[in-house]
Amino acid sequence: MDILLIEPAYKNKYPPMSLMKISTYHKNRGDKVFFIKGIKKLTKSWDRIYITTLFTFHYSDVIKTINYYKPYVSNQNNIFVGGILATLLHDDLLRDSGVSNIIKGRLLDSALLGFNDHINIDLLPLDYDILSDTDYQYPSGDNFFAYTTRGCINHCPFCAVPELEGNLQITNNIVEQIMSAQELYGDKRNLLLMDNNVLALPANSLKKIVNDLNELGFVNTPTFQHPSAFLKYFDMYHRYISEKKCTTNIEKKLSMAFEKLTTKHISKIYREQINDLLSNIGAMYANRTQMILDNIDFFIKIEKKYSYKKPMQRFVDFNQGMDARLLTPEKMGILSQLPIRPFRIAYDKIKLTDIYTNAIRLAAQYGTTIFSNYLLYNFNDTPIDLYKRLEINISLAEELNVHIYSFPMKFEPIENKKRGHIDSNWNYHYLRSIKAILNVSNGVFGGDRSFFEKAFGHNEVEFYEILSMPKDLLTYRTYYESLGITTKWLTEFRDLPHSSQALLLNLISKDIYHSDEARVNDVLRYYNPQHINKKKGILNI
C-alpha cells in the first residue's frame, strides 16, 4: 500500500507523534509511507491518507486540508482523520468534512483503522525518518519524544487531557522506546517527555522511570557524543534508495551537512582536495550527491578527524510541566537524579502562589537552577493576577539566584473553532496589548527585572496604563517615546475620569474610534488607524 500522512499547515513546535507511530505500523506491514506538511500538489493517488489535527481553533485549516486531499484517494473511506481536534469536535468534523473515518482518542487497536491484527499503535516507536520528507523545521524536532505516562488524575476545566487520554497510567517501556529509536534513526542529545502529570505516580513508580532514564544515559554528568549529521544523512540516503523512496529532501540535507563539514577549520591540504572534487562536478560527477557518494571514505575521514569529541550534557524536559501540588521532598529527591532542564512548574492561578513558591524553593534546594512555567491568563482571572505572578517570579529568581522563564498562555475554550475568547475581567484591547508585549521576546518572559518593569510597569497602575496604550505606541515604544507622543497620550489619558477611560477601552476593543464624549474623542485619535502616516510611520495628531 502507498500511504500518505498529512499534517495541516498550521505552525507547531512539536512533530506529529501520532503520524510517526502510524508510519511505523505501516512500514512494519511493508507499506510505503510519505509525509507532507500542509497542502502540496501531488502527481499520484494513494491507497490511504491519514490527516492529524491539533487545536480546535485550527478547524477551518483542517477542513480545507481534508477537502484538498479528497481527490487523491479513489474512495473517501480511505481517508482517516484523528488527533485532538478530531476527538473534541468529532461530530462537527463528521458533518462538515464528508469523511466518515473520524477517529476519537488514541489508536489503542489497529482495528480502528480497519485492520484485524489488533496492534496497539499508540505503543509503537516513533518513525523519525518521516520528518525528512518535509522542508518544515519543527523548533523542537531534533529530540527524542516519548511518554512514560498517559492521562491525568485532575479534571481541570481548561484541559482536554481526560477526554483525550483518560485516567493516569504508565505506558510502554521507556528503555525500549529510546533504544529502538537510537538503533533505527541515530542518537539524539535530549529527551522531551510529553507526560501530563508524572508526579501523580507513586514514588516507587517514579523511581523506576528515573532509573530507566539513568540507564539510557540521562544522568547528571556529560555522556552524549554528538553524532555526525553528514553520516546520518548519508546513511538515510542509502536507506531511502533501498526502500525506493523519494530522496529529494534527503539530498538537500546531505548537501547542507556537506557544506557544514567542509566549512570547518580543516587543513589546507584537505581544502584543496575538496575544491578539486567540487570543480569536477559536471565533468566526472553528474551532481554533488554523486561526488559525495563516490568519495565517501575521504569525507568520513575528515568527519572523524574534525568532529567534536568532548561529551555533552544530556537534558530531560518534562515538557507539559509538573504539578506543584504533588511535589514532595521524596519525589524531588528522586527527580534530582535526572538532568532536568528546564524544570517546568505550572502557575495557573494566583491562589496557588504559596504552593507554587514552595515547589520552586524545594526544587532549588536540590540544585535546580533553570525553571520554566506556564501562566494561564484570560480564564477566571484579572490582568493584575498575571502581573502579580510575573512579579513573584522575578522576586523568587532574585531570592534563590535561579532563572525562571515564564510562558503566559492565553486561554481558549477547548471546543472553540477559532481564537477570540475574552474573559469577563478582560477586554480585547488588553489581550492585544499583552500579545504585543510578549512579541518582543517571542512569547517568553526571561525574568529580568529591568525588562519586566519596562514591559509591564513598575506597579499595578503603570501596568494598566501600558495595557491601555495605543497599539502602535506599545509596539514601537522607544520610537514614539523619543518623539514625545507617548508622553502626550499618557497625559491626556490620565486626565480622563475612570468612567471615561472605561468607555474608551470599550470603544477601541470594538475598533470604534469616535465618541459623543468630547474628551474621549480627543484621546481616540491616538488609536485611530486613519491617523497613522504609513510612509513616515508616525501618528498625525
- The residues, ordered by sequence, that sit 6+ positions from 81 with a Cβ below 8 Å of its Cβ are 50, 51, 52, 53, 62, 66, 93, 97, 99, 101, 102, 103
Q: Answer whether residue 142 is part of any domain.
A: no
Q: Answer whether residue 59 is part of any domain.
A: yes
Same domain, 455 and 369: yes
Give backbone dihedrals phi and psi of 122, rounded to 5 degrees, phi first.
-65, -20
Residue pair 151/195 in contact by the 8 Å Cβ criterion? no
Q: Answer whether residue 129 is part of any domain.
A: yes
Residue span of the structural domain in which 448 resides: 342-352+363-468
Same domain, 10 and 117: yes
Q: Answer whether residue 315 is part of any domain.
A: no
Nearest to 467 by CA among 519, 411, 508, 514: 508
Same domain, 1 and 122: yes
Beta bridge partners of 144: 191
Distance, in Å, from the CA atom of 262 to the CA atom of 185, rounded to the nearest integer, reads 24
Distance, in Å, from the CA atom of 226 to the CA atom of 308, rounded to the nearest integer, reads 7
Beta bridge partners of 150: 169
Same domain, 369 and 442: yes
Q: Answer whether residue 83 is part of any domain.
A: yes
Q: Which residues of 86-124 are buried (b: 16+ CB within 10 A; e: fewer)?
A: bbbbbebbeebbebebbbebbbeebebbeeeeebebbbb
Residue pair 439/477 in contact by the 8 Å Cβ criterion? no
Beta bridge partners of 33: 3
Q: Give the containing element (helix H, strand E) for 364.
A: helix 353-365
Residue pair 168/153 in contact by the 8 Å Cβ criterion? yes
Distances (CA, A) of 115 to 1, 110, 119: 13, 6, 9
Give the pLDDT score at 233. 85
Residue pair 53/9 in contact by the 8 Å Cβ criterion? no
Nearest to 347 by CA among 383, 327, 376: 376
Nearest to 303 by CA among 311, 291, 295: 295
Residue pair 136/147 in contact by the 8 Å Cβ criterion? no
Q: Answer whether residue 164 is part of any domain.
A: no
Listed residues 133, 150, 166: the one ending a domain = 133
Q: Answer whether residue 358 is part of any domain.
A: no
Question: Got the DSSP string for 13-75?
Answer: SS--HHHHHHHHHHHHTT-EEEEEES----SS--SEEEEEE--GGGHHHHHHHHHHHGGGSSS
Same domain, 371 and 491: no
Give ∠ CA 93-99-105 in degrees, rounded to 5. Answer: 55
Q: Answer whether residue 293 is part of any domain.
A: yes
Which segments within 331-463 are labelled E, that is strand?
343-344, 370-377, 403-410
Q: Is 172 left (phi over 0), alpha (psi -120 to 50) or beta?
A: beta
- What does each of the 541 residues of the chain score in pLDDT, given as a tens digit? 999 999 999 999 999 999 999 999 999 999 999 999 999 999 999 999 999 999 999 999 999 999 999 999 999 999 999 999 999 999 999 999 999 999 999 999 999 999 999 999 999 999 999 998 998 999 887 899 999 999 998 888 888 888 888 888 998 689 999 999 988 888 899 999 999 999 999 999 999 999 999 999 999 999 998 777 888 888 888 888 887 777 888 888 889 888 888 877 788 899 899 999 999 999 999 999 999 999 999 998 988 888 777 899 999 999 999 999 999 999 999 999 999 999 999 999 999 999 999 999 999 999 999 999 999 999 999 999 999 999 999 999 999 999 999 999 999 998 899 999 999 999 999 999 999 999 888 878 887 899 999 999 999 999 999 999 999 999 999 999 999 999 999 999 999 999 999 999 999 999 999 999 999 999 999 999 887 665 555 666 6
What CATH code is carried by the domain that includes residue 24?
3.40.50
Going by DSSP bridges, is the β-strand pair 2-7/48-53 parallel, antiparallel, or unpaired?
Answer: parallel
Same domain, 444 and 488: no
Domain count along the chain: 4
Asked if the peptide bond before residue 15 counts as cis, ω within 30 degrees of 0, the response is no
Distance, in Å, from the CA atom of 218 to the CA atom of 212, rounded to the nearest integer, reads 9
Q: What is the 3-state secondary structure (H, E, C) of 293-329?
A: HHCHHHHHHHHHHHCCCCCECCCEEECCCECHHHCCH
Distance, in Å, from the CA atom of 245 to the CA atom of 251, rounded to the nearest integer, reads 12
Listed residues 107, 133, 159: the one ending a domain = 133
SS3 of 101, please?
A: strand
Question: Got the DSSP string for 502-526?
Answer: HHHHHHHHTT----SSHHHHHHHTT
Q: What is the pTM of this model?
A: 0.85
Give the pLDDT score at 536. 52
Same domain, 414 and 537: no
Task: Classify residue 135 as exposed, middle or buried by CB count within 10 Å of its CB (0-12, 13-18, 19+).
Answer: exposed
Residue pair 108/2 in contact by the 8 Å Cβ criterion? no
Same domain, 24 and 129: yes
Same domain, 347 and 462: yes
Same domain, 51 and 101: yes
Which segments within 337-474 are labelled E, that is strand?
343-344, 370-377, 403-410
Question: Got the DSSP string for 157-214?
Answer: TT--HHHHH-S-EE-S-HHHHHHHHHHHH---S-EEE--S-GGGS-HHHHHHHHHHHH
Listed residues 108, 133, 158: the one ending a domain = 133
Same domain, 415 and 289: no
Give the pLDDT score at 469. 97
Same domain, 293 and 374: no
